[in-house]
Structures are given as structure tokens and as C-alpha cells.
């Protein structure tokens, strides 16, 4: 078939490789699920387009689960405003929001494995919203059939609620069960922004002694440990041997850090084989493509030899040095091109199937160490990939606390992994209030620090200590499942986490709160830079105001009305 209209709803295009389509639908809690079953003929699979329309009123923004997503509502012909979802990148979700930033229409897809491009845009002539789903590409490998469920929700819901429902659906339909080790929520020290590739064993051990005073329990040794080169090139990746110029006795270093009760994780650019590595010749001919700018090549996991190389490398590092985990990077570099045709040396035709096999094997490393830590990074956020990790970090946003808190929230609402902030850094010349914003912006994620601790001023050390104690004291509340956010996903207005009779609220772009609960202890962290906060209540509330060092600034009682309270430009407010 070339084009076919089904039930006056779906329009199918470029489907000449499809013999038949069967469709069924069900409605649960006012959400409609369309199940499409495709039977293929013997023609080659290529991109196929499915579209459907709806008149959606009050559209103001869009929602996409990608890092630094553009929320502009664009015309239907603007494919560049969509998302690309596949095994190693993004969940297949697209939504429309109203001016209150409520989800008013969302489409999510059951297939989190194969490449799918989707967007919802406005038809200029009719002002209808059209969802366009482009399935597959010329490299997609399937058997003689394919099934896709399309979940359509046109109920008006708070964005947080809508995303949690979609997230639960995607995990359930893909049979993903998560068991996050508690250590995934430990405070982290990262070596990237502070040292980059310039690592030295003795200096880093001294940093760990200082870090232990701030409650740090995990060290991530980033790029640099495997090479003498400091040019930030990946041309020496692939052998994954400890560079003696960096760590003259790495096993002893790990032992010394473990004595501080700190776990050790290593960065791995998992797909990379640099042209200067010994493995370059060993795996030559088994690459997907190369990154000419970095003189590195991407292994093809369809070859068992490549998968075995990755797993054996991780196993060797794990056993040789008693490591506690890996920060696995550049997962989204696995892409097919016209040169990557199938041959009989491969044991899988499908790249997605091969990647799934590879990451299942990586997940099986937990048989060696059952609390093994595996960290991914945005946009490696597919639900089917989540099963192989327990940590997901915000994409790189150095010294950008607004992006950090917004993306922490976005990840909290769309994954069940332990969400880590991007590493906190700030300029020594920044004000104390600004430094506090950088720190407390990370509080709804797992904070990661990337300071050279020995170089911090006394005030900076005191500030970091105050924040660390705040996070550790309130961790169970901050990480609670009862978590909500209000505002636009690119820069939320506020977020709140609630457990038992305690809640913590962060104010980002508003200074107004309504508090009428009985017997709830509320902590408010003001990140908005406003020098006042307005609280509306019908209760009598006792209010204490603290500065960035948690020093009491003011104490007062407010009653049944609007109350404007003066506060420092950064403040913590406690209400009983």
C-alpha cells in the first residue's frame, strides 16, 4: 500500500513495504490507546509516516523530553522542532501545554527501541494540531511484523501528573523494572570541570580527604585517567589502561579512597576506539563510523567481537581495581550509515537488538558487584536503556544553575533512575547569594561537586558545608516520589517534594505561595533573587528566615491574610 486512511483517523504514507495493518483501540481513564499491527511484504523497510489531527484549544507551548528542548509551538512542516527517539536517545513523547503550563494533549509511543521521529505542529489553514510520526529508516531491521501502541491523552492535567502517568506507562509496556541501589543517591565529587584531563594521584587523594568532610561518598574520575595526552582528544581511547603519568599506583589509590568510605567510578567513552590505541588495528573493519574531529572510531556492536571487547574491558577494570561503577558516555554515538551493511561476521542485523544485548551484558556486571553504579547522561534517557543504569545526569551546563534545576526536574518526571545534577561550579568572584543558587539549584537531584576544594575560600567552604548538611539531612524528602513542579519546562517557577508531614519547596521564578495545610512543616528555598516573598494563608504560621550560611535573620508570626516578608536575595525559610 502507498497511502491508506484508517478509521478516518490515521493517515499512513510511504507504506509500500506493508501488506496489511490491523488496528484496535481501548480507552482507560479517558486515555485512548491505539494498537497498530503491521504485516510486511518482502520489500525493503524505509521511513513510513503516520499522522493524525485534532483541534486542540488554548495551545501555548510544546513539551519534549530532550535536553534544552525548544517549547515553541511550530507549523506542521517544521520537522526540526520534533524529537528523535531510539534505543539510546529520548523517550517517544510529545505534548502540548496551555498558558498555565498544563498538559492539554500528549502522544506517547510504546516503541522505545527503534528510531522514531515525531512532532506535533499546527496546520496553518485549519489551525488543527497534527501529530506526525515517522517510523523507521533505511537501516531498520525487523522480521515480518511490527506492533506499535499510540497513547493519546487529551485531558487537561498538571504537567507533573501527566508526565508521571506517561512514564509509568512506558516502563510498564516495555516491562522495565527498576531497583536503584541506595548509594546512587550519595553526594558525588567529579573531576571533570575542576581538572579535566590533568589528573594527578596524590593531588586527587588529598581532595578526597577534604571531600569526605562534606559528606561525599562517591568519586567519579572523568576523562584523562587513560591517557598522557591533555588535549581533550579521544584518539587515545580504546585500550582503557591506567596512564602511569596520572596514577602511578591506581590500585593503591582506590584502596586509599575506599578507606575514606568513598566509592570510585571511572569514566568510559564506551563506543570510542581512537586511532592511537592498540585496539584500533584489532577491531579495524568493525566500526560504524569515525569522528574525524577527534580521531576516533565508533565500534559496531552487531559484531560479537566488539561487544565482548566492551564487556571484557569493563570486567577487567572492575576486578583489577575493585571499582564501584562506571560513568558510561557517548552512548548516542551508535548510528548506522550507508557503509554499515550487514555481513555474515555479524550475529545481529539490527543495531538496536545488538545494543540491547550489549547493555544487558553490562547490567550483568552486577553479578560481580551487586551495588554496581552505572551513570548515563542526557539524552541517554530511553526507558529500555534505563534498565542498565541506576544514575542519570543532567547534560553539561557548567555554571548555568537555571538549566541545571530545570533539567533535574525534567528528568525527575520522566525517569525512575537516580537523577544527578550536572557538576556544580561557580566563579570565586560570584556573590555568596549566587554561589548558594548554584548549590541549592541541585537539591532535587543528587548533587555533584567539581571544585578544587583546597582552593575554596573560607566562606565558600562554609557555604558548601551548609549545603551538604542541608541535603543529607533532608535527602529522604528531596528524593521522595511525591514530587511536583509548576511552570514552563525550560525554566520552572517552583518545585515541591513532600513526604509524611514535611515538604521542601524551591522558588525559581516566583515569590508567591499559598499555605493552608494543617500540621505540615514547610521549608522554602528562595532561588528567585527576589528580596521578598508573599505568603497567603488562612492559618497562623511561625516563620523563621535564614541566610545562605543558615544563620537566623528574622523570626515572625503571620496570620490570616497576604503577607509580604522581606528576605535576603538568597534565603531559606522555615514555616511551622
Residues 470 and 480: their CA atoms lie apart, in Å, by: 15
pLDDT at position 147 is 96
Residues 303 and 287: their CA atoms lie apart, in Å, by: 9
Q: Is the C-alpha dihedral spanning 184, 479, 388, 448 positive or negative? A: negative
What does the pLDDT average to over 46-61? 95
pLDDT at position 231 is 82
534, β-bridge pairs:
512, 564
Q: What is the CB-side half-sphere exposure of residue 479 using CA atoms within 13 A?
A: 22
Helix 432-440 to helix 458-478 angle (10° resolution) is 30
pLDDT at position 261 is 98
Give 395-443 pLDDT, tens digit per residue. Answer: 999 999 999 999 999 999 999 999 999 999 999 999 999 999 999 999 9
Cell of 562: 497576604
pLDDT at position 295 is 84
Assess whether pLDDT exceeds 90 at residue 252.
yes
Residues 295 and 277: their CA atoms lie apart, in Å, by: 11
pLDDT at position 303 is 97
Q: At 522, which helix (H) or strand (E)? A: strand 521-526
Give 471-492 pLDDT, tens digit per residue. Answer: 999 999 999 999 999 999 999 9
Q: What is the CB-side half-sphere exposure of residue 204 using CA atoms within 13 A?
A: 31
Residues 449 and 267: their CA atoms lie apart, in Å, by: 16
Q: 411 in helix, strand or coil?
A: helix
Q: Where are the beta strands (DSSP E) in 270-324?
A: 272-274, 287-291, 296-299
What does the pLDDT average to over 504-523? 94
Assess whether pLDDT exceeds 70 at residue 263.
yes
Question: Phi and psi for 440 in degrees, rounded to 5?
Answer: -75, -15
Question: Between β-strands 263-269 and 272-274, what pairing exists: parallel, antiparallel or unpaired?
Answer: unpaired
Nearest Cα to 453, choosing from 181, 211, 116? 211
Assess whether pLDDT exceeds 70 at residue 257.
yes
pLDDT at position 365 is 96
Nearest Cα to 511, choosing from 540, 534, 477, 487? 534
Question: Between β-strands 502-507 and 552-558, what pairing exists: parallel, antiparallel or unpaired?
Answer: unpaired
Assess whether pLDDT exceeds 80 at residue 7.
no
DSSP state of 238: T
Assess whether pLDDT exceeds 70 at residue 292.
no
Of 52-66, 135-149, 275-289, 555-569, the poorest mean pLDDT is in 135-149
Tell me the pLDDT of the chain averaged across its residues.
94
DSSP state of 140: -
Q: At 352, which helix (H) or strand (E)? A: helix 351-363
Amino acid at each position: 500500500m502507498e497511502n491508506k486512511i484508517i478509521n478516518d483517523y490515521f493517515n499512513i504514507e510511504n507504506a509500500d513495504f506493508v501488506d496489511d495493518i490491523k488496528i484496535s483501540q481501548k480507552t482507560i481513564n479517558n486515555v485512548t490507546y491505539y494498537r497498530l499491527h503491521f504485516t510486511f511484504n518482502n520489500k525493503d523497510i524505509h521511513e513510513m509516516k503516520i499522522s493524525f489531527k485534532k483541534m486542540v484549544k488554548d495551545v501555548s507551548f510544546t513539551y519534549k523530553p530532550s535536553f534544552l528542548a525548544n517549547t515553541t509551538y511550530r507549523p506542521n512542516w517544521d520537522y526540526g522542532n520534533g524529537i528523535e527517539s531510539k534505543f539510546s536517545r529520548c523517550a517517544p513523547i510529545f505534548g502540548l501545554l496551555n498558558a498555565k503550563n498544563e498538559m492539554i494533549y500528549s502522544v506517547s509511543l510504546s516503541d522505545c527501541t527503534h528510531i522514531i521521529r515525531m512532532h506535533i505542529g499546527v496546520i496553518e489553514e485549519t489551525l488543527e494540531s497534527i501529530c506526525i510520526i515517522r517510523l523507521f529508516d533505511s537501516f531498520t531491521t525487523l522480521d515480518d511484523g511490527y506492533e506499535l501502541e499510540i497513547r493519546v491523552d487529551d485531558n487537561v492535567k498538571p504537567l507533573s501528573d501527566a508526565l508521571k502517568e506517561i512514564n509509568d506507562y512506558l516502563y510498564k509496556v516495555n516491562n522495565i523494572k527498576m531497583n536503584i541501589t541506595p548509594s546512587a543517591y550519595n553526594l558525588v565529587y567529579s573531576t571533570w570541570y575542576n581538572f579535566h584531563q590533568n589528573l594527578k594521584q596524590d593531588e586527587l587523594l588529598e581532595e578526597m580527604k577534604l571531600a569526605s568532610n562534606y559528606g561525599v561518598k562517591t568519586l567519579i574520575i572523568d576523562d584523562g585517567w587513560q591517557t598522557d595526552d591533555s588535549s581533550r582528544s579521544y584518539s587515545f581511547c580504546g585500550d582503557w589502561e591506567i596512564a602511569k603519568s596520572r596514577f602511578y599506583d591506581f590500585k593503591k589509590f582506590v584502596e586509599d579512597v575506599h578507606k575514606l568510605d568513598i566509592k570510585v567510578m571511572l569514566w568510559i567513552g564506551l563506543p570510542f576506539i581512537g586511532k592511537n590505541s592498540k585496539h584500533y588495528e584489532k577491531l579495524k573493519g568493525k566500526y560504524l563510523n569515525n569522528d574525524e574531529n577527534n580521531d576516533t572510531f565508533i565500534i559496531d556492536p552487531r559484531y560479537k567481537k566488539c561487544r565482548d571487547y566492551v564487556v571484557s574491558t569493563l570486567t577487567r577494570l572492575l576486578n583489577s581495581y575493585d571499582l564501584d561503577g562506571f560513568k558510561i558516555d557517548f552512548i548516542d554515538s551508535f548510528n548506522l550509515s550507508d557503509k554499515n551493511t550487514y555481513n555474515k561476521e555479524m550475529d545481529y542485523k539490527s543495531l538496536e537488538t545488538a545494543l540491547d544485548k550489549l547493555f544487558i551484558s553490562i547490567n550483568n556486571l552486577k553479578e560481580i558487584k551487586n551495588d554496581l553504579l552505572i551513570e548515563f547522561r542526557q539524552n541517554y534517557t530511553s526507558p529500555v536503556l534505563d534498565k542498565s543504569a541506576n544514575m542519570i545526569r543532567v547534560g553539561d551546563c557548567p555554571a548555568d544553575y537555571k538549566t541545571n534545576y530545570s533539567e533535574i526536574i525534567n528528568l525527575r518526571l520522566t525517569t525512575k533512575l537516580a537523577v544527578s545534577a550536572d557538576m556544580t561550579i561557580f566563579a570565586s568572584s560570584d556573590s555568596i547569594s549566587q554561589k548558594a543558587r548554584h548549590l541549592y539549584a541541585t537539591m532535587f537531584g543528587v548533587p555533584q561537586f567539581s571544585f578544587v576544594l583546597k582552593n575554596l575560600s573560607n566562606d565558600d567552604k562554609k557555604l558548601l558545608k551548609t549545603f551538604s548538611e542541608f541535603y543529607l539531612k533532608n535527602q529522604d524528602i528531596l528524593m521522595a516520589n511525591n514530587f511536583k513542579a509548576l511552570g514552563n519546562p525550560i525554566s520552572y517557577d517552583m518545585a515541591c517534594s513532600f513526604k509524611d508531614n514535611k515538604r521542601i519547596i524551591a522558588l525559581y521564578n516566583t515569590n508567591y505561595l499559598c499555605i493552608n495545610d494543617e500540621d505540615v512543616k514547610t521549608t522554602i528555598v528562595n532561588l528567585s533573587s527576589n528580596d521578598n516573598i508573599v505568603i497567603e494563608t488562612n492559618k497562623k504560621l511561625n516563620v523563621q528566615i535564614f541566610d545562605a550560611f543558615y544563620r537566623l535573620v528574622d523570626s515572625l508570626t503571620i496570620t490570616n491574610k497576604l503577607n509580604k516578608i522581606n528576605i535576603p536575595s538568597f534565603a531559606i525559610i522555615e514555616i511551622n
